[in-house]
Amino acid sequence: MTRPELGVCYYPEHWPEDLWADDARRMAEAGLNWVRIGEFAWTRMEPEPGKLDFGWLDRAIDTLGQAGLKVVLGTPTATPPRWMLERHPDMLAHDRQGRPRGFGSRRHYCFSHEGYREECRRIATLLGERYGRNEHVHAWQIDNEYGCHDTAISYSPAALRAFRDWLARKYQSPQALNRAWGNVFWSMDYDSFDQIGLPNLTVTEPNPAHVMDFRRFSSDQVAAFNRVQVDALRPLTDRPLLHNYMGTGPTHTDFDHFDVGADLDIATWDSYPLGFLVDRVSDRDEAFRLDFARQGDPDFQAFHHDLYRAVGRGRWWIIEQQPGPVNWAPWNPAPLPGMVRLWTWEAIAHGAEAVCYFRWRQAPFAQEQQHAGLLRPDSADAPALAEARTVAEEIAQLGEVRPALGHAALLFDYQAAWAIETQPQGSDFSYWTLTLAAYSALRRAGLSVDILHPSEDLSNHAMVLAPGLVFMDDALKARLAAHEGPVIVGPRAASRTPDFAIPVPLPPALPGLDAQVARLESLMPGLDLPLEGGGHVHRWLEEIEGDAERVIETTDGRPVLMRAGGLHYLAGWPDVAGWDRVVDHGAAEAGLETLALPEGLRFRDTETHRFAFNYAPRPVQWDGQVIQAAGVAWWEKPSV
Amino acid sequence: MTRPELGVCYYPEHWPEDLWADDARRMAEAGLNWVRIGEFAWTRMEPEPGKLDFGWLDRAIDTLGQAGLKVVLGTPTATPPRWMLERHPDMLAHDRQGRPRGFGSRRHYCFSHEGYREECRRIATLLGERYGRNEHVHAWQIDNEYGCHDTAISYSPAALRAFRDWLARKYQSPQALNRAWGNVFWSMDYDSFDQIGLPNLTVTEPNPAHVMDFRRFSSDQVAAFNRVQVDALRPLTDRPLLHNYMGTGPTHTDFDHFDVGADLDIATWDSYPLGFLVDRVSDRDEAFRLDFARQGDPDFQAFHHDLYRAVGRGRWWIIEQQPGPVNWAPWNPAPLPGMVRLWTWEAIAHGAEAVCYFRWRQAPFAQEQQHAGLLRPDSADAPALAEARTVAEEIAQLGEVRPALGHAALLFDYQAAWAIETQPQGSDFSYWTLTLAAYSALRRAGLSVDILHPSEDLSNHAMVLAPGLVFMDDALKARLAAHEGPVIVGPRAASRTPDFAIPVPLPPALPGLDAQVARLESLMPGLDLPLEGGGHVHRWLEEIEGDAERVIETTDGRPVLMRAGGLHYLAGWPDVAGWDRVVDHGAAEAGLETLALPEGLRFRDTETHRFAFNYAPRPVQWDGQVIQAAGVAWWEKPSV
Amino acid sequence: MTRPELGVCYYPEHWPEDLWADDARRMAEAGLNWVRIGEFAWTRMEPEPGKLDFGWLDRAIDTLGQAGLKVVLGTPTATPPRWMLERHPDMLAHDRQGRPRGFGSRRHYCFSHEGYREECRRIATLLGERYGRNEHVHAWQIDNEYGCHDTAISYSPAALRAFRDWLARKYQSPQALNRAWGNVFWSMDYDSFDQIGLPNLTVTEPNPAHVMDFRRFSSDQVAAFNRVQVDALRPLTDRPLLHNYMGTGPTHTDFDHFDVGADLDIATWDSYPLGFLVDRVSDRDEAFRLDFARQGDPDFQAFHHDLYRAVGRGRWWIIEQQPGPVNWAPWNPAPLPGMVRLWTWEAIAHGAEAVCYFRWRQAPFAQEQQHAGLLRPDSADAPALAEARTVAEEIAQLGEVRPALGHAALLFDYQAAWAIETQPQGSDFSYWTLTLAAYSALRRAGLSVDILHPSEDLSNHAMVLAPGLVFMDDALKARLAAHEGPVIVGPRAASRTPDFAIPVPLPPALPGLDAQVARLESLMPGLDLPLEGGGHVHRWLEEIEGDAERVIETTDGRPVLMRAGGLHYLAGWPDVAGWDRVVDHGAAEAGLETLALPEGLRFRDTETHRFAFNYAPRPVQWDGQVIQAAGVAWWEKPSV
Ligand SMILES: [Zn+2]
Ligand SMILES: [Zn+2]
Ligand SMILES: [Zn+2]
């Protein structure tokens, strides 16, 4: 890995051409290395069908490149021009109510529409042919924020046709599908694939197996859509291909980011800590939200950094970093002074190759006119620019930052998220929220974490956590059972077969662990069960049968954490104090030292350094050192 | 009446045929007498249109019967096969938004669709011909849970056609309808019945008279739909016909259960105390809900037992009894140990001929895979099976249980529920919630209650309560005025004419009672008025003019309970303490002894015994005896 | 101005003709002068297309006139008959979901439908021809409550056609529109006006410039619709034309009331203080709502009086005054005794020429059967009648009431409301709520206020407040800067160009005031910033650059109120205590004495008197005098 770099998103088409050179100069002067352009500019590239205009783009790339900036060029397929709808009137996605989702903003296409896919192949090819070997174009972004605005799932006629084909390929016969789904249950059998509908607008809930297949199908369509452009660009360029994921969180799990990532070279994500605190962090109370309103959740960003490092198989960026108030959350406060620097350094400490700010100059017009940039609309410096400059200088002093292996591994599987959304059983059960709760407990203990897909090698991590892994095959179970250090799985582990049925023998059926979910219950807010020794279980508790050793119990004697050797089963959803106990137990078994960090303080270790981030809105002390609100500190890593 | 019996719901079509005999044996061994089958199995009975397959059903009935079980056979009309839609593409109900409610779950039909009615007649006739005289088939269930999933009301083209016909039959001329509805109000007059629409999607609220007629029509369509199958089966069997009502509560009042019951022999209902506590009991606070989260509301079930005893004209069952956590409520906790026994005994004490558990083995697939059964998915005993077995043994010891006449009568009228839903006037005014509040007060006082349709003979009851009876004709008023003991009517008594107008003279216009509602007000939460002597009025208060004797007043002198002889008018909605005072007053006049039962304890008297049920999650004391949490006790009834 | 008068709304078509004379006699006896009729009676005027029946109306007018009453005759265009839809099946408005809003209540038309406009011209002409010179018809009401039930905005095909035409007239070319809207932003450019859709059902939010133009268009359509009837009636009558606005509040800003008012002679509004407290006053907490549940917000009505005095260019009425509980709010309590008198006098003190109660006799049928009148459904006096009679007697004693110039001016602009609804940036930012907060602070200080359109002459007012004025042109800025007394503008002042872009130089760019909004933030509930010296800023705070004098700051040194000479900029949203400080400061500069009125007490000065209104539910003291709950007092105005 080379030294971390900074960058910015830029829209030359929004500004008079005579501003470009000065903008480029100021970017370079501030210490930025990268500039992303082009991803919404289809009408400028192709004002009329087939009438291409790349002259402006040639000049923009040249101007930026001459200033020493490396260009990320985006394909503009998230914003098909209005004329595209004249050619493909049926290309729109449909919402859950069955209505077309119309023109007038962005992402107005259905991933299943073959005609639009062909148009995307065409424009990507044209761009690849023109710029694939351009000396200034150092990377390519495909499309923009797949799935954002709930667009990964479409109930359109195009999606219906494709879903039937997908099912036919998977099941080969309606009878096989009927058996797999258990359609006998309410006489829901189909005689032909053409009778199968999308699982919206049914009288009461549809068969969860039906929904689960539709979720898998929808995710596959995103990956297939993306692959069309990958396939078009690969022969035309040697530069890395990336996509900018709009994070994951509880609401953006609609396609498998690992699947899309498998076809790409770098995973990048769009990090908006303040907006996400309001609309994606659902597990914390009002006081917490207010305390962190100008800093963001202390673990949300870090979780995503670790996740996308896995999605990118080690290579990842932030390609859009919030630089100030945004326009899209219910409320949009300004970050505390220092937070832009803090967010940037947190990403770098997690191994980001680059952190790019969104955007250069705040646009005074259209949808995002209240979205801050590094420049104000009047071209004056916005506060974030100084913080970016500071980071650039600090990087220059610090040099390379090599990510270290995390102390613990946390497994993450998008299919588990779909399964739980399909069948929450308790209204507040969210897979992502559960995994963030586990992750936060690891962070509160001062540990650095690697997030891994379940298929990854786990042998390098002293401790493995795998909450909520609904689907576990025998091979995965065996690998976990064979792991050297402590492994903690559950709740809901291995609770469904691939066909979305309850397996028999009952879950989790882990090798060597005598514990079986005899019954389970979801618990409304307030129906908590205290744990012997501190903490509570809330939201979810399974009744376990079996003689596995009990590590943590409720005060009325129900097992919550059980073990056989290093393999543990967690039978409920602990609260914050409960999670701390689970992590403390696992860390002790793993021989990992845990810390009692003050509220808001977080650590991340690199190969050489320990970085400390104070998310609290007040100074904290650590080891005799005061770290200011929004402060970042680093020191040589203690030898273990 | 014979001794009470137990039973279970079973789906032979869900399991390999080689399991059936052992299942049947285990049912019988556990002390179960009844087994309900068939109600969702249309695709197994008729896999293709006209191609019938009853062989498996013959064998299933025979296997169950051979084990000593009596079969309730269901008609499968709640789950029309997918091929039915090829024959009747317009058979679907439409929702309030006008959208068809599609295939993929159940109850996907409009009650008004003539073609589908004909199909139901056909399948019921086929079943009746084959099994009407079968020695093992001892009862018939028609369809399943009419109205569940909001299906009693449909806004389909079929419903529109039928509604216009219904109106034409009722009013004979558009002019008569215009007069009855008061269409002059906003120039809403119709020139022809073909101009009349369904009362959805109007600009602002439609004429309440329009809505009320649509509600009556919709209820009539359910009764007519049911009658088709009754008429088909009657000539073919001598066994009793029943339907399984999905309870009533605040949300399942969309058709008149008495009307449907009039064509049947037994009323049965589906009792899910924990799910219903969450989604149907709206009058109690969070602390109450949490205290009873694993037991259910102490009065909700009893209310329904008494209601369906009336609907069944004395003959009633629970045909689906919750045996553990269910899958459909927002949260699904597990019952306290003992609650399945308690619920069963409460039903028996109220005169249930049978209590059947839903279901035998938990299905590992499809929509209800998280719905507990008497067996787990792996065929091991679930906790409820032991409790059912205990009840069977206790029944064997106790012998017959003959219901006694209740101390008090409570009148219940589905039309009143529709009237108040049509015109709540205060957002939290629910007819059912009001009647449950009255019922609960009677239960807290230790009284046993009979729920009666207003048309029933009231002369056997020392005290009559009739809250919220919007429609009262002169004959009913006269009968109530002539009643020997105390009668308490109101609020909202007799407040609308049959045409849904305010009557003049103003309500309640009760014979001999000088009290008139001069004005009324609905009260937002917090705007309570204290009562002189304790308790409050909330939600609703009428300003009364007239010289009737004031029994209870607000502290600022507004009359709340007034009387003339035994006839009382209640002018507001009392809170819990207020209702206790109303009941105490009535009971004192009636010469009924009231008790001060501890929180959660409830009594029900049979001819010979007093049964005690402890719904509290902690032991209670009564008369020197400790009754455990979820405990049931009975002793010889004190002679009065 | 002559002495204030009272009146009532009456529906002769609802009652037997033999009641009319007695009704008229009772009206006159009670001291009423005006009676409004006819506005919903289209089917009685024209039972079949072209078949007119005015005989009953002739007789009704005559009967009322003979009793000494002056008639306001309404055109019935808010309630097109059912047969109208046979002639114009496409005349219905469509909701945001794209669904037609059907027949069965009222206001079922789209303002853009040319065919329906023509029908309105026809019926208005017929009425004008027949009654334009009738001696008893002293005023005309056009239509009823434009925009009520969200009807000002329609997404119908008729609206779409008209919107495209409107855009074509405004922009002349799609290219000009693309530039103005900034459609380059997400490749949203149009090649033709026929490609432009309505801004509903887009994938994510549409371009705010698109929305803003649609809002302007929608408002223009209302004004144009109204003008059709004005143009029809003007040649036929010399009597004043009026419309009854359903108030403004936060929810009824969908068209520019000033624009419609410009074509009329008198502005009237419909005042329902108790219903509006529940559904329109969003800025106050639960305790406040309960305290004022039976009186209404102490400033809501007064604000509207002052607003419609401006809309009517000095001439205004209340044409519908709540006389008791209404039927349409979520809860409908009864007013405290005395409130009907208080509300009436408050209107008179603000210069109302007439106050008419809605309605005479409570209708026992149809949608509003629970809406109180001056008579009960049984024709007995309802409580409000006595209060109206009292006011009539008091007017007789007091004689003329001449409104005085207010101490302060508050500017109000409907376009600002649309702008903020288009782009709230914080979920609880409502233009109207902000202006009411400013207005209330003025009232709490004992000041009388004039509300003015920004285009009005401001030179007569010592102090001018202009919160939230999103659009300010250079001329307005210059006028404000030149004003003699203190002028307080902001927050969000001049924050958008007419094309809905952020202006550069950055706002507010006020002449001579060195203050610039460098950045802004919206603040979730709880994220308040305390002000040095008392009060808080909440909801909204702008970061100001510039050297203008700081008058009020946050405790951490952020400027909130700045000034240069008399021109002030307010950079945030103060809470109640903060607004008091802003007003105190301005008043001090203006040389206005402020008072510390007790909670609930309000003053309004006329030319000769000071009126005092006690909205509190308890007595208050002022200057040694006790004013009872719901009490009104007046005394000679102190000389200044
Ligand atoms: Zn362990
Ligand atoms: Zn009494
Ligand atoms: Zn000043």
pLDDT band at A95 (very low <50, low <70, confident <90, very high): very high
Residue B554 near residue B578, CB atoms below 8 Å: no
pLDDT in tens, B214-233: 999 999 999 999 999 999 99
A638: pLDDT strictly greater than 90:
no
Instruction: Note the Cα A571 to chain centre separation in Å.
Output: 26
Neighboring chain B residues of A572 at a CB cutoff of 8 Å: none
CA B161 to CA B206: how far, in whole Å?
Answer: 19
List, in order of start, the domains of chain B with CATH numbers.
5-153+222-398 (3.20.20.80), 408-590 (3.40.50.880), 601-636 (no CATH)
Neighboring chain B residues of A181 at a CB cutoff of 8 Å: 365-366
* Contact residues, A window 401-440, toward C, CB-based 8 Å cutoff: none
pLDDT band at B279 (very low <50, low <70, confident <90, very high): confident
- Mean pLDDT, range A355-360, rounded to an integer: 98
CB–CB of A187 and B44 under 8 A? Answer: yes
Tell me the two tokens of residue C157: 């095909």
| C589 alpha carbon – ligand 3 mean position (Å) | 6
Neighboring chain B residues of A523 at a CB cutoff of 8 Å: 331, 333
Q: Is the Cβ of A102 closer than 8 Å to some Cβ of chain C?
A: yes
State chain C's mean pLDDT as an integer. 97
The pLDDT value recorded for residue C403 is 85
- Which residues of C have a catalytic role annotated? 145, 320
- Mean pLDDT, range A503-518, rounded to an integer: 97
Q: Is the Cβ of B503 closer than 8 Å to some Cβ of chain C?
A: yes
Neighboring chain A residues of C518 at a CB cutoff of 8 Å: 376, 380, 382
pLDDT in tens, B31-88: 999 999 999 999 999 999 999 999 999 999 999 999 999 999 999 999 999 999 999 9
CB–CB of A149 and C204 under 8 A? Answer: yes
C296: which residues sit within 8 A by CB, 6+ positions away? Answer: C273, C274, C276, C277, C339, C343, C615
* Contact residues, C window 115-174, toward B, CB-based 8 Å cutoff: 148-149, 151
State chain B's mean pLDDT as an integer. 97
| A573 alpha carbon – ligand 1 mean position (Å) | 17
| A590 alpha carbon – ligand 1 mean position (Å) | 9
- Mean pLDDT, range A242-254, rounded to an integer: 95
The angle at the Cα of A521, spanning A517 to A525, to the nearest 5 degrees, equals: 145
The pLDDT value recorded for residue B376 is 98
User: Could you tell me which residues of B are annotated as the binding site?
Assistant: 106, 110, 144, 328
The angle at the Cα of C540, spanning C185 to C147, to the nearest 5 degrees, equals: 70
- Which residues of B have a catalytic role annotated? 145, 320
Give the DSSP H or E segment for A99.
Answer: none
The pLDDT value recorded for residue C433 is 96
CB–CB of A334 and C185 under 8 A? Answer: no
- Mean pLDDT, range A512-538, rounded to an integer: 97
The pLDDT value recorded for residue C279 is 82
Residue C247 near residue C276, CB atoms below 8 Å: yes
Q: Which of C558, C554, C556 is nearest to C531 (CA)?
A: C554
Is C144 part of any known ligand binding site?
yes
The pLDDT value recorded for residue B413 is 98
CB–CB of C208 and A368 under 8 A? Answer: no
Ligand 2 is an ion; its neighbours by CB within 5 Å are B 563, 589
pLDDT in tens, C425-482: 999 999 999 999 999 999 999 999 999 999 999 999 999 999 999 999 999 999 999 9
pLDDT in tens, C139-187: 999 999 999 999 999 999 999 999 999 999 999 999 999 999 999 999 9
Instruction: Note the Cα A387 to chain centre separation in Å.
Output: 25
The pLDDT value recorded for residue B281 is 80
pLDDT in tens, A278-297: 888 877 889 999 999 999 99
Q: Which of C555, C140, A155 is nearest to B102 (CA)?
A: A155
- Mean pLDDT, range B306-330, rounded to an integer: 98
A1: pLDDT strictly greater than 60:
no
| A586 alpha carbon – ligand 1 mean position (Å) | 6
The angle at the Cα of B249, spanning B247 to B253, to the nearest 5 degrees, equals: 80
Tell me the two tokens of residue B80: 């029309």
Q: Which of A602, A595, A605 is nearest to A632 (CA)?
A: A602
Q: Is the Cβ of A99 closer than 8 Å to some Cβ of chain B?
A: no
- Mean pLDDT, range A432-440, rounded to an integer: 97
pLDDT band at A640 (very low <50, low <70, confident <90, very high): low
CB–CB of B519 and C82 under 8 A? Answer: no
Hey, what amino acid is at C99?
R
Give whichever of A396-400, C2-6, C369-373 has the largest mean pLDDT. C369-373
β-partners of residue B538 are B573
Kindly identify which residue of chain B lies nearest to residue A506, measuring between CA atoms: B378
- Mean pLDDT, range C534-557, rounded to an integer: 97
Residue C495's φ and ψ, nearest 5 degrees, are: -85, -5
Kindly identify which residue of chain A lies nearest to residue C506, measuring between CA atoms: A378
Neighboring chain B residues of A188 at a CB cutoff of 8 Å: 43, 79, 82, 103-105, 366
CB–CB of A203 and B43 under 8 A? Answer: no
The pLDDT value recorded for residue B640 is 52
pLDDT band at C1 (very low <50, low <70, confident <90, very high): low
**Residue of B106, B370, B382 lying closest to A423 (CB–CB):** B370
The angle at the Cα of C536, spanning C530 to C537, to the nearest 5 degrees, equals: 105
CB–CB of C104 and B207 under 8 A? Answer: yes
CB–CB of A204 and B14 under 8 A? Answer: no
The pLDDT value recorded for residue B639 is 63
Instruction: Note the Cα A71 to chain centre separation in Å.
Output: 24
C278: pLDDT strictly greater than 90:
no
A428: pLDDT strictly greater than 60:
yes
Q: Is the Cβ of B291 closer than 8 Å to some Cβ of chain A?
A: no
CB–CB of A500 and B330 under 8 A? Answer: no
Kindly identify which residue of chain C lies nearest to residue B178, measuring between CA atoms: C366
β-partners of residue B489 are B466, B569
CB count, 10 Å around CB of B194?
11
**pLDDT > 70: percent of chain A:** 99
Q: Is the Cβ of B89 closer than 8 Å to some Cβ of chain A?
A: no
CB count, 10 Å around CB of B175?
13
B118: which residues sit within 8 A by CB, 6+ positions away? Answer: none
* Contact residues, B window 173-212, toward A, CB-based 8 Å cutoff: none
- Mean pLDDT, range C504-519, rounded to an integer: 97
CA B441 to CA B436: how far, in whole Å?
Answer: 8
- Which residues of A have a catalytic role annotated? 145, 320
The pLDDT value recorded for residue B2 is 75
Interface-testing mutation among A185, A420, A429, A536, with chain B (most B C-beta atoms within 10 A): A185
Tell me the two tokens of residue A262: 């498998």
